[in-house]
Amino acid sequence: YYFPLRENLHYLLDLCYYFVKISFQVEYNYSLGAEPNPNEWRWICRDLLVDTGRALASTSKKKETILLHPGDVILDSITFRGHSVIRSFEQRSSAHLEHFLVAADWLTNNQDEHGGWSVPVERSIADKRLILPAGWYSAMAQGHALSVLTRAYVVTSDMKYLQGAKRALQLFKIKASKGGVLNELFGHPWFEEYPTTPGTFVLNGFLYSLIGLYDFAQISNSQDGDNDSAALFSAGLESLRIFLPLFDTGSGTFYDLRHLGLKTAPNLARWDYHSVHIYLLKWLYIITKDEFFNVTANRWVSYATGHRAKHN
């Protein structure tokens, strides 16, 4: 799985590969990443269309993405080289569940003692007026993890996913100033994508955290009854109802409310983030049936087509 250095060695998405041209034949070889533990089985899954597309794109002089579809590539043969033991080999049209559980297992294996997955790099915000040293946590990441672990538990009934999700709730209860993801806006809780002091109150990250809390709250039989996600979701939803109008500019939306604490100019959301705000509000409307979220989302849709709020 390790290849000698040569002139046409390339690096792509942490996978080392090289290609050799022989007459009309082009050979591409991919490594399989870090050296595995020889005492453990290793599950390997490759997408033939994606790998082939990347290999073909590597021969182009300009950066481009080559998208291949079923039927574009025919698998002629499979060859194994080197010393290995093959337990099973399958060719299938998809491996979504297997990939999903690999991700869920990574989350359980890498969750720290605080129940989180810290960000290992520094983050600066507002022209470095706010700095988060490496090791900070994000409510958005915690929310995504909750969604994954909840689904993994539902599919497998494996308690490790349930316990991991419970541990992930811890940081929602710890203030940002103490290393958690909780800030307050006028006395109401806000789960921070970037847990700065003063708070930034990013809208999309907060909404994603609510998704995770909602997902985990759907597991009613939390075994020992200490699933606080429903209460956290309810508190966050009430904060959203109160503060959502503050994100409306009359022609678009604010990305966050950093200007409240920093006393600076507001930070407008790009149109792609504006779209994220809309579809997340639509999601909230679907699950809560609260017409306020639907009306707000529709008004924000109209901003994207040129409509503006009334003036005096």
Residues 6+ apart with CB under 8 A from 76: none
| pLDDT tens-digit series, residues 247-294 | 999 999 999 999 999 999 999 999 999 999 999 999 999 999 999 999
| pLDDT tens-digit series, residues 119-148 | 999 999 999 999 999 999 999 999 999 999
What is residue 3's predicted lDDT score, i.e. its pLDDT?
A: 34
The topology (CATH level 3) of 96-303 is Glycosyltransferase (1.50.10)
Residues 108, 153 contacting (CB under 8 angstroms): no
Average pLDDT over residues 173-200: 98
| pLDDT tens-digit series, residues 14-48 | 445 445 555 556 677 766 666 667 777 888 888 88
CA 237 to chain centre: 21
pTM check: above 0.85: no
What is residue 193's predicted lDDT score, i.e. its pLDDT?
A: 99
| pLDDT tens-digit series, residues 51-69 | 888 888 887 777 888 899 9
* Residue in the block written with tokens 């034949």: 25
| Mean predicted lDDT score pLDDT of the chain | 89
Query: How is the chain split into domains, by residue range?
Result: 1-93, 96-303
Report, in angstroms and rounded to the nearest whole number, the Rg of the chain calculated over CA atoms: 24
**Across the strands, what pairs with 170?**
none
